[in-house]
Amino acid sequence: MTPRALHDADVIIIGAGPVGLLLGNFLGLAGVSVIILEALPDLIDYPRGVGIDDESLRTFQATGLIDKVLPHTMPRQAMRFVNGKGRVFASIDPLAQDFGWLRRSTFIQPLIDRVSADGLQRFPHVSLKLSHQVTGFAQDAGGVTVTASEPGGSAVTFRSAYLVGADGGRSPTREASGIAFSGKTEANRWVVVDIADDPMGYPNCYLNADPVRPYANISLPHGIRRLEFMLFDNEGTDGTVPRELLNQMLSRVMPEPERINLIRARVYTHNGRLADRFRDRRVMLAGDAAHIMPVWQGQGFNSGVRDAFNLGWKLALVAKGICGDGLLDSYETERKEHARAMIDLSVLMGTVLGMRNPFKVALRDAFTWAISFLPPVKRYFQEMRFKPMPRYKDGALDYGPGGLDQKSPVGRMFIQPRIALPGGWQGLMDDVLGNDFALLSWGVNPQRWLDPQSRAILERLGTKIIWVVPMTGLAFEAERHHDAMIVGDLDGKLKAWFGDNPNSMILLRPDRFMAVNCGPQHIAERVRAFGAKLDITEAPAQMLRVPAPDTAEAAA
């Protein structure tokens, strides 16, 4: 690896959208130097994505920005599917908070993007350069050289160890890398309408599967209403919808559409595409540059956030010389198939919503009416159990000598319950874990079962060693043991989780996915095997210490 002194930054990110900004925050927290290049003179100011899930909120929590994000969200936004007769034929209203947050919220994306951009100011080693149009890049064995035009048109060159293209669905980075974007463009087009001073007022999200003209009706924070209407073949062909036609559509849902405070109306064509590769040597793709999908499950934004969380900790370890370059291959291995699953789900939901054939509509309505009388099936939809959860079968994890085990929790995201510290602090678990690896155990001090080699690996990764105990024993165990962090299981959820799983030790990655799950007697060998998977280097890492988020400081 070329010494960092020869680079302007460890990582260059092209694109200051939600993924590029969030990735910049992750790398900044890790002490990695970053330059973000954005062609536009400012962040995009119009609403795009409107749905944010519990995994994404947990991600913003990890960046230390959650308190500034939450004011721009509206939690527990139920989704109702309504047929042409006004009957709700399916409802999604999950109340579970397994990851510490509600599963469905709406949000204002430009305001969240601004929070992420402002968050970069915490790091002197992270630079956001607006009005910098990338004109090309070339990679070699030692890094990537990026050329751009800066404000005024002058050419400028930057050098980095790695490059991330987070530059949208038309990604020049992807095209310049010769990576195909497989999939198809759907024939249907929709007009997206955003209205200020909400003329309707009621909450939640309604997907109206009316064969006359399907439409969506969504309540957003700060008094904004989002409406989306299907366009027919002769409508909006030039990318615009005349106000007279727009008023006709709006008159279906409100009495006086001519009196609305229209923010904007934009025509979109729905796509479902997936990059053939997420990595080309020193260049990675993330967000819409790697995958785009129809909007109907609100997963375009959230899938990009998952990319940033997954790629961020891996890039940090490699850029700082803690792990070998091969770790970056696990990014595509872990993220590509889940992105494909979310595309398929979004396409399916769009098909259900957009049906106009009378026979198919009748079959859909009859089927959904029948299953509404089956409580288990109804709960399946209400609790969003149909949503494909990320489950990594290979990559930066270790199942043990037997290999892939479908019953193992390895490769899944761990829960985030509330915990307590001996000093009296109480809160969500990640506020204590921070952005570190964590070895978590129930019933036994994990330090007792580590050998020198496994302990050295955990130290190299900056792992927190945590022993979870019942609240009744928190003070007692904290007094007796000073070689592990003792935390109390405040609501009993950790005890319940370990009670449902036969092994009492888990190794959590920074993105809170389980990398190892085993019993105490095997933890040392499993940590060694996991370390081999990460290709941990022996040379000391030159780490730039960066202050942790306020929540983690308070917890400590």
Element (H, E) at 311: helix 299-319
Flag whether 89 is in a domain. no
Number of compact structural domains in the chain: 1
Tell whether 438 is covered by a domain.
Answer: yes
Domain containing 511: what range? Answer: 418-555
446 within some domain: yes
Give residues with Cβ within 8 angstroms of 492, minimum separation 6. Answer: none
Question: What is the chain's pLDDT, residue by residue, as a tens digit (556 residues)?
Answer: 344 446 899 999 999 999 999 999 999 999 999 999 999 999 988 767 899 999 999 999 999 999 999 999 999 888 888 887 888 877 777 788 999 999 889 999 999 999 999 999 999 999 999 999 999 999 999 999 999 999 988 999 999 999 999 999 999 999 999 999 998 766 678 899 999 999 999 999 998 888 889 899 999 999 999 999 989 888 888 889 999 999 999 999 999 999 999 999 999 887 889 999 999 999 999 999 999 987 666 678 999 999 999 999 999 999 999 999 999 999 999 999 988 888 877 777 666 666 677 777 677 666 666 666 666 766 655 555 556 677 899 999 999 888 888 889 999 999 999 999 999 999 999 999 989 999 999 989 999 999 999 999 999 999 999 999 999 999 999 998 877 799 999 999 999 999 999 899 999 999 999 999 999 999 999 999 999 999 998 754 444 434 444 444 444 4
What is the pLDDT, as a whole number, of residue 491?
A: 95
Structure tokens at 169: 């669905």
Asked whether the beta carbons of 519 and 441 are under 8 A apart, the reply is no
> Which 8-state DSSP code applies to residue 451?
-
Evaluate whether residue 523 is within a structural domain: yes
pTM of the predicted structure, to 2 decimals = 0.90
CB 94 within 8 A of CB 101: no
Strands 133-140 and 143-149: antiparallel
Bridge partners (DSSP) listed for residue 488: 420, 469
Is the torsion defined by CA of 381, 73, 62, 423 positive or negative?
Answer: negative
Sign of CA dihedral 348, 349, 353, 358: positive
Please tell me the predicted confidence (pLDDT) of residue 377. 60
Task: Judge whether 217 lies within some domain.
Answer: no
Look up tokens 């927290």; give the residue.
29
CATH number of residue 508's parent domain: 3.40.30
344-348: list long-range contacts, CB under 8 Å, 24+ apart. Answer: 344/272, 345/297, 345/299, 345/386, 345/387, 345/388, 346/272, 346/293, 346/294, 346/295, 346/296, 346/297, 346/299, 346/300, 347/186, 347/272, 347/293, 347/294
**Structural contact between residues 183 and 274, judged by C-beta atoms closer than 8 angstroms:** yes
Smallest CA-to-CA distance from 37 within 152, 179, 163, 122 is with 163
Q: Is residue 432 part of a domain?
A: yes
Distances (CA, A) of 5 to 146, 153, 207, 321: 17, 28, 54, 13
DSSP letters of 369-430? HHHTT-HHHHHHHHTTTTS-----SSSS----TT---TTS-TTSBPP--EEE-TTS-EEETH
Pairing type for strands 291-292 and 79-83 reads unpaired
Instruction: Calculate the alpha carbon distances from 391 to 330, 418, 515 in Å.
Output: 13, 24, 11
Q: Evaluate whether residue 265 is within a structural domain.
A: no
Does residue 73 sit in helix, strand or coil?
Answer: strand
Tell me whether residue 518 is in a domain. Answer: yes
> Which DSSP string do the residues of 219-259 spell out, in sequence order?
EETTTEEEEEEEEPTTSSTTS---HHHHHHHHTTT-S-GGG
Rounded Cα gap, residues 111 and 69, in angstroms = 8
